């Protein structure tokens, strides 16, 4: 009997397609070459592609339903790191530095974290909002957090920024 899987997230890149399945499998289908797959610890809730030095996506960051963040190397599809920010679904991801050494994570419960190998203790909780952080990005010295139709401009400590969005 064949097990049917469902696509829950996908990402189109110039080099191929990344697909996240409901059984926690992440599949890389390059334009040229063979299909590769890997498995993360929980079904993905969000995907982020990280552009490497050659100008193409070299890593995939996958946030999952149970508060995990996995770093996957392309094209090998090797999981090279995993961070756990809590038990709330990861809703948004953003690089917090140009080098990609640290990643901002927005969760369904409103918590905002920074993760990375060079982050103290690998995970730092920055602040909490009321409601999910559905998108997050760094603009200058501020964080722009989208919550439904509302965008909040925050400092890194969680205070409202003096800038108006």
- Residue 55 CB-density burial (10 A; 0-12 exposed, 13-18 middle, 19+ buried): exposed
Q: How confident is the model at residue 2 (pLDDT cuts 50, 70, 90)?
A: low
Starting at the earlier edge strand, list the strands of the sheet with 25-30: 7-12, 16-21, 25-30, 36-39
In this predicted structure, the answer to whether residue 165 has a pLDDT above a threshold of 60 is: no
At residue 100, the pLDDT reads 66
pLDDT in tens, 41-79: 999 999 999 998 888 999 999 999 999 999 999 999 999
As given in the structure block, the two tokens for residue 68 are: 């995990």
At residue 96, the pLDDT reads 86
**Which pTM value belongs to this model?**
0.90
Residue pair 136/111 in contact (Cβ under 8 Å)? The answer is no
Starting at the earlier edge strand, list the strands of the sheet with 135-139: 135-139, 142-147, 150-154
Query: What are the residue ranges of CATH 2.40.10.480 in the chain?
Result: 1-84
pLDDT in tens, 19-42: 999 999 999 999 999 999 999 999
Q: What b/e readout covers 22-43, taking b as 16+ CB neighbours within 10 angstroms?
A: eebebbbeeeeeeebebebebb
pLDDT in tens, 83-134: 999 999 999 999 987 666 899 999 999 999 999 998 889 999 999 999 999 9
- What average pLDDT does the structure give for the chain? 91
User: Which CATH topology does 1-84 take?
Assistant: Thrombin, subunit H (2.40.10)
CB atoms within 10 A of CB 159: 9
Specify the CATH architecture of the domain 86-165.
Answer: Beta Barrel (2.40)
CA separation for the pair 61, 42 (Å, rounded): 13
Q: What is the mean pLDDT of residues 12-16?
A: 92
């Amino acid at each position: 009997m064949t097990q049917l899987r469902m696509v829950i997230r996908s990402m189109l890149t110039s080099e191929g397609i990344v697909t996240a399945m409901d059984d926690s499998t992440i599949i890389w289908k390059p334009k040229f070459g063979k299909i590769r797959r890997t498995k993360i610890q929980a079904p993905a809730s969000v995907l982020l592609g990280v552009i490497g030095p050659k100008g193409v996506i070299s890593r995939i960051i996958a946030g999952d339903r149970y508060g995990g963040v996995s770093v996957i190397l392309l094209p090998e599809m090797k999981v090279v790191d995993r961070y756990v920010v809590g038990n709330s679904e990861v809703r948004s991801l953003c690089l917090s530095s140009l080098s990609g050494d640290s990643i901002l994570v927005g969760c369904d419960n409103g918590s905002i974290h920074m993760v990375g190998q060079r982050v103290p203790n690998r995970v730092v909780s920055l602040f909490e909002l009321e409601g999910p952080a559905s998108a997050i990005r760094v603009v200058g010295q501020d964080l722009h957090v989208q919550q439904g139709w509302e965008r909040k401009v925050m400092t890194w400590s969680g205070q409202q920024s003096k800038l108006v969005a």
